[in-house]
Structure 1
């Protein structure tokens, strides 16, 4: 596991990045044999094959159990919102640890507490220094004078390269507002390319709220895309070409108020008469959550499509309140 320390946007906040260096072999793992509880006897050259099929099939689960057990013994608790997020609270001091397979990000407002935890972690798992946290799971971190800026410029450029649109003319909007997609039109001759590009765009919406609605619209036709749908994807990509450096900005805020917005396009899908609705939630001055998707029902459309998204919006906001209260 590699660790790197660096100062976060706030002067009293320290951030560290970790990565498991030797795979699932690090640490003491108790790996089960399989779903049936039995493992076939292996002879000769078949031994490695049987071990790969039966002996290590539970390795990811065993590794997560091993690492989380260590965190629980140290005093961490698992977040109710995200099972990969762990929180340690000691009075006014906090440590947040985010785990993704063999990558971790640790943040704390107390450098002494964090160093003590890192020292304990190093005794349990092999560690090495990798430098400052700059790139994590396709997310680029940039420090500014006012806070933290996160983008996916490199990842977006790779999508443009795959679509062969690096030299294309940029567009000013990701989608024409009055243009509603439908199932009409000739089929696109390379559906795997369509599915690959749209799947990549879905991951790009992690930092690009401006793409959420357009990507949600083209995602409805993954099973059978048409030429019209692919043209819509190309417009999104050409819009990305002109906004490659867009991302999320986080700044220190004295306000802890939660403010949520919701909207819908009123039966924007001609095929089903359903609306595509979405919401955006702010914690203080920072955007922390957003979503865009098809409404499940069309019976409410005659009244107001926003009413269907209200329970999900309230649920998400309540989750943020719970997480904030636990953190405090």
Structure 2
């Protein structure tokens, strides 16, 4: 009599060359390749982000001890500490992390599709398009926060569609997409300036502050809808990540592997623009996070290409750190976070341009 063992074999850990580990099942149906350096770098930055988050929650005009902070976080604190920590500071910290991660992933997508470190939504002009949509709502419709957010979302999507159509010629090549995007961004920037100049003083000042990118006065009523939308795009990005990595091998190789190249590229663009438009809708156009985070992550992890996971982690940490600097740089004045990201990002952009020019 023969018996059959129907138990499932455990997952095995297999070394795959120096610096890599592959976790796979004996049948080969499941496998996950991990780069040890990436794991270490991501773990360090996740820990750093956690420390920054706790510091942001505990410090400010009202400072709490570690014990008071923990009691407030677990709902055991007094009413004033829970109000400050949970209602005032928590939404700002969570939004900084979520929007920073969204911008990091958006930058990774466009730098992967264009195969160029300058392929960023703020360079290509999608941020500017989202700002245009918000300005139209502010000046022509006089809408509130959610109407402005919807206008920014529509503006970013319409700009992306126009850039894609103008850059399309038997496929959307990366360099053409960047050139068309820069040109379109310049046109929209001129339109934005014209709209602000024609507006009233109060409207123009409000639009200018919002256009700098700010997390000031961020509450749960603003954060919850944005977090829900960002979560949907996070899921979509995770599902499309394998296609993005296959497209990096070239269109012919991706087609040979069964990937429909142009539809996959279009879906990735929609997700990347969606992240940028959502961030702009929630906090205004925040520049250079999407440009810098993927490239810094790539250099730290020494990966062959940009990766969504590491880009998201560094984007989240960068934006939270920038917001903390903006809050504390000038005493008694909370600067828009975009002021810090533009200042630091501008230096990074100059270095990147010089580096690319030297390489070419």
Greater helix content: 2
Structure 1 and Structure 2 fold alike (TM over 0.5) = no
Q: Which TM-score band (shorter chain)?
A: under 0.3
Q: Rg: which structure is higher?
A: 1
Q: Which has the higher contact order (CA 8 A, sep 6+)?
A: 2
